[in-house]
Every structure is written in C-alpha cells, then in structure tokens.
C-alpha cells in the first residue's frame, strides 16, 4: 500500500509545530499553578494506534493537552486527519494563546507487518524519536478465532517501539490497552476470542516489562471496564435499554465510564512519574 503522512498544519492556516500546556484539575496551566515536573510530556513524542476515534483519540488528546507531539494511526488517512483536526481544535480552545503541538496522521493496518514497519520508519523520520507508544487499535466483535489478530497489532508495534527505544537509549513508556475481560468473564457477552486476545495482551505487557525493564523501558497494560465510546453507544442503540441495565447493575457506581475519564490515567502512565518498569 501507499504510505501517506499528512501534517495537520497542511490542513489549516495555523501552524501547530510547538507545545501546549496541560488542562483540567489534573493538568494546571503552569503560568498560574505549578504541578509536578515528572508529569510533564513536553518535548515528548507519543504514538497512539487506533486514535481516529474512541479511547485512542482520547489518549492522543490527553497527550496533546499535556504538551506532547503526537502520531495518529488508524486504518483510514481521512479519519486520522479528521481526528487530529478535532484534537487541535480542543487544544486551541483550551489554550488560545499557546501554540498547538505537532500532530501527524498515518494510515496503517496494525495487523500487517510490512505496514507497521514502514509506518514506524516514517514516524521516526518525521519526529526524530518516539518516547511513548499506546496500542489502542481493536474492536469488540465475535469472530472466528483464526481471524482474530488484534493481539498481533499490539505485538508488532511494541516490537518496533522497543527496538527504537533500545537503539537510541530512550527510557520510554509502552502502554498496551487490554480490558477488564483480560482477567474476568463478563455476562452476558459471548466473546471468547476477544477475552482471549486481551488476556494475551496483558501477559505480553508483563513479559516485555520483564525483558526491557533493565533498559529503563516501562511496559504496562491498561484494562478499562465498560466505556461509553461511540462504538458502545451504537451497540446499545441496537440492543436497547435491557442490555444497558444489565451492564450497569454490575458496575458499583451504577454507570459506564466516559472516555475522557481515562485522560489522567494515560498521562500518568506515559509520564516519568511511575519509574518502576512494570507499575
């Protein structure tokens, strides 16, 4: 396939080559109230797969709001460009007097090794280095086991990231997105392939953390519970209130989480604050 990389500043008149300061009660503007320097992502490059929508987009948004440059990776170049345009708009709205960090779009199928290798090479060429990888590509679906390759995407990108960080002596952070289904079987879903893949992602993170920890590379997995992403909203619209009720009855707080509620978590995991290689 033809690899295309589009910098967002080619899509609008405003340049977005620089950093922006953090947002919200967790990320206070440094001109008013200081926060811990170890939480800063300024001058960092963060790569997020599956970031054209859903949790991946939320993670890339959190990184941009925290000062990091970002690479948006997904199956569609058009969707990636729309995602970084939306993220840049949120950053400008939050900090109208500050420049927006550099954001680039990359079309890539995370399950195809040649795609992953060429995309990673292009990212390194464009940004010079990568400090953080988040693998958020994937979808909840009931498919035949032989067609279920979402663990493959996590492995391929983690491998390229690990090689890059070791070669350039970067003490970075790799975050593999798993699920609560990695450790528990939720009812009434029949999704053995999905559960198995997420369990594999969790063990992959533990294994890589053990192997690469001596190089200062932190590898962790994040296991969200029920999240009200656009994908889940569409599912709930089709399945109706009965399914929503069955899920929410099993949640202690009585509701599903909103994607933005994970922003603080992902920034903490990407930052220098948790220094243990397997937190």
Domain ranges of the chain: 5-270
Catalytic, 179? Answer yes
Quote the CA–CA distance of 167 and 170 in Å, as a whole number. 8
* Total residue length of the chain: 279
| Residue 121: how many other CB atoms lie within 10 Å | 13
> Which homologous superfamily is 5-270 in?
NAD(P)-binding Rossmann-like Domain (3.40.50.720)
Residue 58: pLDDT over 70? yes
Question: What is the per-residue pLDDT for 139?
Answer: 53
Q: Are 242 and 13 in contact (CB under 8 A)?
A: no
Q: What is the strand order of the sheet 45-49 is part of?
A: 5-7, 103-107, 69-74, 45-49, 132-135, 173-177, 218-222
Catalytic residue among 40, 154, 173, 179: 179
Q: Are 261 and 24 in contact (CB under 8 A)?
A: no
CA triplet 81, 259, 41: central angle to 5 degrees?
A: 65
Of 196 and 8, the one with more pLDDT: 196
Residue 263 backbone zone (phi > 0: left; psi -120 to 50: alpha; other: beta) = alpha
Catalytic, 271? Answer no
Confidence at 197, pLDDT banded by 50, 70, 90: confident
Confidence at 258, pLDDT banded by 50, 70, 90: confident
Taking residues 127-152, report their average pLDDT: 72
Q: Are 84 and 63 in contact (CB under 8 A)?
A: no
Residue 15: pLDDT over 80? no
Quote the CA–CA distance of 73 and 80 in Å, as a whole number. 7
Question: What is the per-residue pLDDT for 184?
Answer: 72
Residue 52: pLDDT over 60? yes
Q: Are 267 and 26 in contact (CB under 8 A)?
A: yes
Catalytic, 198? Answer yes
Quote the CA–CA distance of 66 and 85 in Å, as a whole number. 17
Catalytic residue among 194, 197, 221, 271: 194
Catalytic residue among 51, 173, 181, 198: 198
CA-based diameter of the chain, in Å?
54
> pTM of the prediction?
0.79
């Amino acid at each position: 396939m033809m690899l295309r990389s589009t910098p967002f500043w080619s899509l609008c008149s405003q340049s977005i080559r620089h950093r922006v300061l953090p947002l919200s009660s967790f990320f206070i503007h440094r001109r008013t109230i200081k926060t811990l320097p170890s939480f800063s992502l300024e001058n960092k490059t963060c790569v997020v797969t599956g970031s054209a929508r859903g949790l991946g987009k939320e993670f890339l948004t959190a990184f941009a709001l925290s000062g990091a440059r970002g690479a948006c990776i997904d199956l569609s170049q058009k969707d990636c460009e729309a995602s970084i345009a939306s993220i840049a708009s949120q950053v400008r709205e939050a900090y109208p007097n500050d420049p927006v960090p550099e954001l680039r779009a990359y079309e890539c199928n995370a399950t195809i090794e040649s795609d992953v290798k060429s995309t990673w090479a292009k990212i390194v060429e464009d940004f010079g280095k990568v400090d953080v990888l988040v693998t958020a590509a994937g979808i909840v679906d009931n498919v035949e086991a032989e067609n279920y390759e979402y663990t493959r995407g996590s492995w391929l990108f983690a491998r390229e990231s690990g090689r890059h960080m070791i070669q350039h002596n970067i003490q970075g952070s790799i975050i593999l997105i798993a699920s609560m289904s990695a450790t528990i079987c939720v009812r009434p879903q029949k999704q053995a392939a999905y559960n198995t893949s997420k369990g594999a992602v969790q063990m992959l993170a533990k294994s890589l953390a053990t192997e690469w920890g001596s190089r200062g590379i932190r590898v962790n997995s994040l296991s969200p519970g029920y999240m009200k992403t656009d994908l889940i909203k569409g599912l709930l619209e089709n399945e109706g209130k009965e399914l929503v009720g069955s899920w929410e009855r099993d949640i202690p707080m009585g509701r599903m989480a909103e994607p933005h509620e994970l922003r603080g978590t992902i920034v903490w995991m990407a930052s220098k604050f948790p220094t243990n290689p397997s937190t």
